[in-house]
Amino acid sequence: MSTTNTAGDLSRFSINQMTVKQLSMPELVAQCVELGIPGVGLWREPVAAYGLDATAKLIRDAGLTVTTLCRGGFFTAIDPAERSAALEDNRRAIDEAATLGTDTLVLVSGGLPAGSKDLHGARERIADALSELGPYAFERGVRLAIEPLHPMFASDRCVVSTLAQALDIAERFPAEQVGVTVDTYHIWWDDTAPAQIARAGASSRIHTFQLADWITPLPAGVLNGRGQIGDGAIDMREWKGYVEAAGYTGPIEVELFNDDLWARDGRELLSETAERFVEHAA
Amino acid sequence: MSTTNTAGDLSRFSINQMTVKQLSMPELVAQCVELGIPGVGLWREPVAAYGLDATAKLIRDAGLTVTTLCRGGFFTAIDPAERSAALEDNRRAIDEAATLGTDTLVLVSGGLPAGSKDLHGARERIADALSELGPYAFERGVRLAIEPLHPMFASDRCVVSTLAQALDIAERFPAEQVGVTVDTYHIWWDDTAPAQIARAGASSRIHTFQLADWITPLPAGVLNGRGQIGDGAIDMREWKGYVEAAGYTGPIEVELFNDDLWARDGRELLSETAERFVEHAA
């Protein structure tokens, strides 16, 4: 695979599909080949839209690696029927990950159920779900990667807000079943995160490493305000240094959600993102 | 002082002025007297607008207690002239606190300087500033209360994001000089915060305790999205229990920034807030 548009080492770069969601699956794959990008992180919805088997074949034929599938999770419901449906949906996500040939399913664990103020209880229900899903995933060659989300998402999206909390849950299971997602956007403010990365590395639980930059002002709803690499407050090389010191040598995914970026030409954005990766993280 | 509009114990209730910023200073004071609210937290800007001495007299004559003055801080500049100006402004804030008769100046420490990615350095500059301001405040009977702000403010408003970080700085100084602000809104997601509250209490560093609820979706800019007590995800009695177990028996301030609340009649909002305090925290 040759690097045509981007000078520099892209050997560890993976583009998370959401970053350039304006590209169709074939466009994404073609552009990755064109630019010499070896890895992609996929999302279930666009995979389903293009077709699971068709996606797997497209990616495989292009010689790309699927570094992660996003996402499983949403384990915090109290209602038994909802919990059962969530487990079933996560089994499907694990099956899809296996079909796509990735070893990592990223988990966004879920927020507080309506009316609940019980963060601790919600976190325990995540652990309960993983005790069922961990072995199921392991049998299919898939590892579950709990992603701590920034504390601003604690009520409505993910009650796991820090790497320490994620590891407190993950360590109840074998590392081959459950680890963590280290994403700079969610943890950059946390001065205890470097030590937690070392803790995660010591038990081989860094299952994926993702980059996004922190920019302000945050947009309403705060979901789609992630900054292009290099545009914000986060020193990417510093965090890359932490995961490498902890033994992580795998792919580095760039995952941005940003309305301004999504309004741009997808091919240009992908090229820019590859350049930023080289400049700030290669 | 009698409670006319609100049933229940308001003896520890303090209304932070920003919650009902649509009320003028005389309206605020009159309504507190009317409702039997014994304490107010003041802000420098409305105090300056009404006049420092006039405000002090108005509050004193009404028999109210000024529980805190908001706010000092913004210590993270690198430029020497900016740093000098910040120190001078904080000395004025301390003088104002003393004139108003409050023993607590709340500190919002400041974000990253433009272009900087160095959270650690910024936190060290806060400590530098406090080494000058702590003794100055102590001589005037004022304690400085570092407020950890939610991590979503780490880049643009306050690099101190957790109680642990705040205490790491505060403990370099005598507790009579520097302590912390415990505000539910900023720390509710943090499962290590209860232990940090105990740590703060053990050295008598809980200088004020403030309430606001966490509601979503957050508005653009995320500053003015704090929820009325009882409307969100935070169990106020749980957090009150933590500070009380740590030995804190002082005033409890309700401090809300919320465009929807500010659009309402200020007297009605103050009455509702007092009722919510009784229901959820008295």
B54 near A CB under 8 A: no
pLDDT, tens digit, for every residue of A27-86? 999 999 999 999 999 999 999 999 999 999 999 999 999 999 999 999 999 999 999 999
A33 near B CB under 8 A: no
What rounded mean pLDDT belongs to chain B?
A: 96
Residue A14's pLDDT band (cuts 50, 70, 90): very high
- How far is it, in rounded angstroms, from Cα B114 to Cα B116? 6
Predicted TM-score (pTM) of the model is: 0.96
- Work out the angle between the directed axes of helices A163-170 and A193-202 (0-180°, nearest 10): 20
Q: What is the DSSP letter of A155?
A: T
3-class secondary structure per residue, A108-151 = ECECCCCCCCCHHHHHHHHHHHHHHHHHHHHHCCCEEEECCCCH
Write phi, then psi, for A12 (nearest 5 degrees). Answer: -105, 5
What rounded mean pLDDT belongs to chain A?
A: 96
Residue B8's pLDDT band (cuts 50, 70, 90): confident
Residue B6's pLDDT band (cuts 50, 70, 90): low
CA nearest to A158 within chain B: B189
| ipTM for the complex shown | 0.95
Please give the domain boundaries of chain B with CATH numbers for all domains. 13-210+235-254 (3.20.20.150)
Q: Is the CB of residue B257 less than 8 Å from the CB of residue B16?
A: no
Considering chain A, what percentage of its residues have pLDDT values greater than 70? 98
In chain A, residues with a C-beta closer than 8 Å to the C-beta of B224 are none
Listed by number, the residues of chain A in 113-172 with a beta carbon closer than 8 Å to a beta carbon of chain B are 116-120, 123, 150-152, 154-156, 161-162, 164-165
Structure tokens at B207: 């200088």
C-alpha gyration radius of chain B: 18
CA nearest to A217 within chain B: B221
Listed by number, the residues of chain B in 236-255 with a beta carbon closer than 8 Å to a beta carbon of chain A are 238
pLDDT of A3 above 60: no
